[in-house]
Amino acid sequence: MAAEKCIALIAHDQKKDDMVDFARLHRQTLSQYQIFATGTTGGRVLEACPELEVIRLKSGPLGGDQQIGALIATGEIDMLIFFIDPLTSMPHDVDVKALMRLATVYDIPMALNRATAERLVDFSAAAGKAANDSPDPANANHADGGT
């Protein structure tokens, strides 16, 4: 059995409502993942979608971004969705940049805005459906009558 896929969800303060709307809209796809989220973002997502399995880490400025970075570095995160607010100065901007660098270094899919996140989860859902719909070669009938 394959290991459970994990996704990280993070949203800056001005983008938390957008993340909650995104989670509501994509709750079926997100339910196929173990979700790690920074503190407040995780709490807001859980409040809106209590059926989702969300592990809340520390708030981003208090080390949550670094915790997610460590999970990326150890291969435990398969996708990062981080709704950033490019118009607001962040005191922990270096942590945000380090997290994006780790996602790039470890080559995991990363969305920094809603439009990209929509495409990533749509692709993920389509890929999962295709994998479930493809025939199992061990059970396929062979034209030559063999097993």
Q: Are 66 and 98 in contact (CB under 8 A)?
A: yes
Q: Are 30 and 7 in contact (CB under 8 A)?
A: yes
Concerning whether 65 is annotated as a catalytic residue, the answer is: yes
Reading the block at residue 65, the tokens are: 């971004």
| Catalytic option among 18, 21, 65, 93 | 65
Contacts of 79 (CB under 8 A, 6+ apart): 5, 6, 7, 8, 33, 108, 109, 110, 111, 120, 124
- Give catalytic residue positions: 65
